[in-house]
Chain A
């Protein structure tokens, strides 16, 4: 099993530029999560998908962030335009169901974004 695959692993961009991250969850996992992890902090949820529907995007800064999960499989997270404060690791996770009580989360290795 390949696990949750994220790309790119690293990205350095200038502020005001757009950037996109890609995530391919474990096959058959219908729930997908995007987390942001600032240096020295725990991850914070940005958005949760159940299949292709975003069921919790309350923490997503919608003025500059957008996400999509077409066909309910892989997902893309976009920032446009990027700001210096967006520098962080962006983690994708997936689970077989939406209840963390029953279904464990599997995390990808993350994309480390540096905005200069």
Chain B
């Protein structure tokens, strides 16, 4: 399967703590994106990092990309109960324009 792998599969933290999710992929990519999905809803685009970038910030989100290890991480700082959702990485391999999703990390932030 071309799908990416994410870990952990599930993460439970207290409000105010940081949450880190990791994503790995198989071959060279063009860019990597992170999406959020609330229960029973569609996916919402959070942030995109290009293959020539190493780190990107957006509000409380920090994304890193290590192309040598074929991995990315999403850090949510000072988490809130409203951050409770599933988070998916998605990427495009260099040889094809198709957006491929990872299996997701289910984040639960307890108030």
Contacts and interface: CB of A to CB of B under 8 A. Distances in A.
Contact of A101 (B4, B31, B43): B31
B97 A40 contact: no
B98 interface: yes
A42 B97 contact: no
Interface residues of A, number: 24
Contacts, number: 56
B30 A101 contact: yes
A4 interface: yes
A99 B30 CA distance: 11
Q: Is the interface of B mostly helix, strand, loop or mixed?
A: strand
A40 B42 contact: no
Q: Can you list the 10 inter-chain pairs with the closest CB atoms, starting with the nearest?
A: A42-B101, A107-B42, A107-B43, A109-B42, A104-B45, A100-B99, A43-B101, A42-B88, A42-B103, A108-B42
10 contacts: A42-B101, A44-B3, A91-B43, A93-B42, A93-B43, A101-B31, A101-B50, A105-B43, A108-B42, A109-B40
Interface of B: 3-4, 30-31, 33, 40-45, 48, 50, 88, 90, 92, 97-104
Interface of A: 4, 33, 40-45, 48, 56, 91, 93, 98-101, 104-110, 112
